[in-house]
Amino acid sequence: MAVAAPYSLRRRLLFWLLVPLIAIGVIALLDTWREAIGTANAASDRVLAGSALAIAERVVVSEEGTLEVDIPYVALEMLTSAAQDRVFYRVDGPPGTFITGYDTLPLMPAPPPERAQFSDATFRGEPIRLAALARSASTGVDSIPFVVTVAETTIARTQLAQTILLHSALRLAVLIGGAALITWFAVNASLQPLYRLRSAIAERSPDDLHPIDDRVPGEVRGLVETVNSFMVRLGAALSGLRNFTGNASHQLRTPMTIVRTQLALAGRAKSLAEAKAAAQTADTAIVRAEHVLAQLLLLARIDAAASDMIETTSVDLTTVTMEGVADRVMEANAAGADLGFEGSEPVAIRGEPLLIGELVGNLVDNAIAYAGSGAEITVRVSGGDEAVLEVEDNGPGIPPDKLAAVRTRFSRGAGADKPGSGLGLPIVEEIAELFGGRLTLETPASGKGLRARVTFPPASSPADKASDDTVVG
């Protein structure tokens, strides 16, 4: 499966912080350019309108009844503050009557009102700004309308807008640069806990699986807790693996040695009977090794379930126990024991069916192995406040001072000469604890034998009513 290429969290953070900042700066510059054009036009248009008004005030009616104008050049000088700009004007009388000025200077598309109107045009190949003002001159009897048009090139306006834009761009560049620098340091400072965490983990030895307790931000705390939980589970798994390999090595060494010895004896046997006897002893040793290995694998599974999460369901303890007893009736008869079962009502518990079956099987197998020939073994299941499984026999039992010892792995009580691995009761106890149960060992009221009692919380307890997917770990 292809592995996705790694990416830099720092670069991603800087990208999402700086790119929008730069985009906002560009938008601000565009808006500034629009405002600069408006500001330059507003300032220059007032002067242009003033010039048009000054010219309009010098338009009079001559004795012949025509319009005359004495151009006040001071009005045009107001527009020559920028030497590179050129100024143009024209005065027009009634429609179609040109009075003075540049007769090719463009006119407004529509007759302007008495308030100055502005527009952009082109004159002699250059962009210009026009201002037109409509007025009328009185003859005493009537009035003659006229229009004053004043224009100037736009060089000064453009330079003013560019100056405003340049100053704004410099300020924005300083602000964006400062913000980028602050963002860079802020991102690096914010990522330092991650770098420290990486270094702390990298410096650990492979066997160091204790939880990480470095101080980290709240946003990373969940990740650290997940890693800590994983290391706890990994530690438990490694411990279980070491226990399994150690136990397997210890417990399988003896039967394997027996097998090799018997095979060697069979090879040197002088008769078929001697060879068969050696092979039979080797086969018995292999059977014991298989039993020990099966028990060790079951313990490994229980350890894994205890260190991880295992799904539980509602299990009918009565049905599982009846099946376990039925599977071992022939084995009990071969051992000379009378195996019976008491209980008929369903008793529900929370558990995992296969592991509950292993618990029942180990209890019954243990009773068959150690109760002895002629013993009676009774298996009971009852309900109530607690679900109870009992396996009682009237065999030799276990001395009170050894009841605690037989709960430990590979410890065996009376009958150590009989086949077994010393794992049966420890397996029962660990499975019971996995599902909230407990194992007690006691001598029956008759004073003979052993009663193994396992109690479970019933499936109808409040903790189990919430969902059929309850998990334990």
Tens digits of residue pLDDT in 101-128: 899 999 887 766 678 899 999 999 999 9
Segment 52-68 shows an average pLDDT of 85
The whole-number pLDDT of residue 127 equals 93
Q: Domain 229-307 belongs to what topology?
A: Helix Hairpins (1.10.287)
Q: Tell me the CATH number for domain 11-163.
A: 3.30.450
- pLDDT confidence bin for 462, thresholds 50/70/90: very low
How many angstroms separate the CA atoms of 63 and 70, rounded?
15
CA 124, 129, 131 angle in degrees (round to 5)?
120
How many angstroms separate the CA atoms of 145 and 113, rounded?
11
**Model confidence, pTM:** 0.45
For residue 447 the two structure tokens come to 């004073």
How many angstroms separate the CA atoms of 87 and 470, rounded?
91
The kind and range of the H/E element at 117 are strand 117-123
First to last CA, the chain: 31
Burial of 393 from C-beta contacts in 10 A (0-12 / 13-18 / 19+) = buried
Calculate what percentage of the chain has a pLDDT beyond 90. 17
φ and ψ at residue 217, rounded to 5 degrees: -65, 160
The whole-number pLDDT of residue 320 equals 93
The whole-number pLDDT of residue 467 equals 41
Q: Where are the domains of the chain?
A: 11-163, 229-307, 310-472
CA 85, 89, 91 angle in degrees (round to 5)?
170
Residue type, 56: A
Segment 343-347 shows an average pLDDT of 87
Q: For the chain, what is the largest distance between any 2 Cα atoms, rounded to a whole number of angstroms?
A: 164
The more confident residue out of 468 and 370 is 370
Enumerate the β-bridge partners of residue 122. 127
Q: How far from 250 is each of 242, 296, 315, 366, 421, CA to CA, in Å?
A: 12, 11, 36, 21, 11
User: What number of residues does the chain have?
Assistant: 473
The whole-number pLDDT of residue 419 equals 52
How many CB atoms within 10 Å of residue 67?
21
The whole-number pLDDT of residue 380 equals 93
Alpha helices in 269-352 (DSSP H): 272-307, 317-327, 329-334
φ and ψ at residue 25, rounded to 5 degrees: -60, -40
pLDDT exceeds cutoff 70 at 291: no
CB 123 within 8 A of CB 151: yes
φ and ψ at residue 91, rounded to 5 degrees: -125, 130
pLDDT exceeds cutoff 80 at 213: no
Segment 358-368 shows an average pLDDT of 88
Structure letter (DSSP) for residue 458? B
Q: pLDDT, tens digit, for every residue of 265-285? A: 888 877 888 788 888 887 877
CA torsion, points 330, 332, 336, 341, in degrees to nearest 10? -110
**Which of 51-65, 124-138, 197-211, 299-313 bottoms out in mean pLDDT, i.e. has the lowest?**
299-313
CB 217 within 8 A of CB 240: no
Average pLDDT, the chain: 80
Burial 111-136 (b: 16+ CB within 10 A, else e): ebeeebbeeeeebeeeebbbbbbbbe
Q: Tell me the CATH number for domain 310-472.
A: 3.30.565.10
Name the residue with tokens 């983990």. 201
The whole-number pLDDT of residue 387 equals 92
How many angstroms separate the CA atoms of 301 and 304, rounded?
5
The kind and range of the H/E element at 98 are strand 98-101
Contacts of residue 259, defined as CB under 8 A and 6 or more positions apart, other chains included, come to 282, 285, 286, 289
The whole-number pLDDT of residue 79 equals 59
pLDDT exceeds cutoff 80 at 73: no
The whole-number pLDDT of residue 323 equals 92
Name the residue with tokens 């136990």. 247
How many angstroms separate the CA atoms of 32 and 38, rounded?
10
- pLDDT confidence bin for 3, thresholds 50/70/90: low
For residue 327 the two structure tokens come to 């599977």
The string of DSSP codes covering 355-416 is HHHHHHHHHHHHHHHHH-TT-EEEEEEE-SSSEEEEEEE-SS---GGGTTGGGSTT---S-T
Q: Do domains 11-163 and 310-472 have the same CATH topology?
A: no
How many angstroms separate the CA atoms of 326 and 332, rounded?
10
CB 155 within 8 A of CB 38: no
CB 133 within 8 A of CB 114: yes
pLDDT exceeds cutoff 60 at 421: no
- pLDDT confidence bin for 473, thresholds 50/70/90: very low
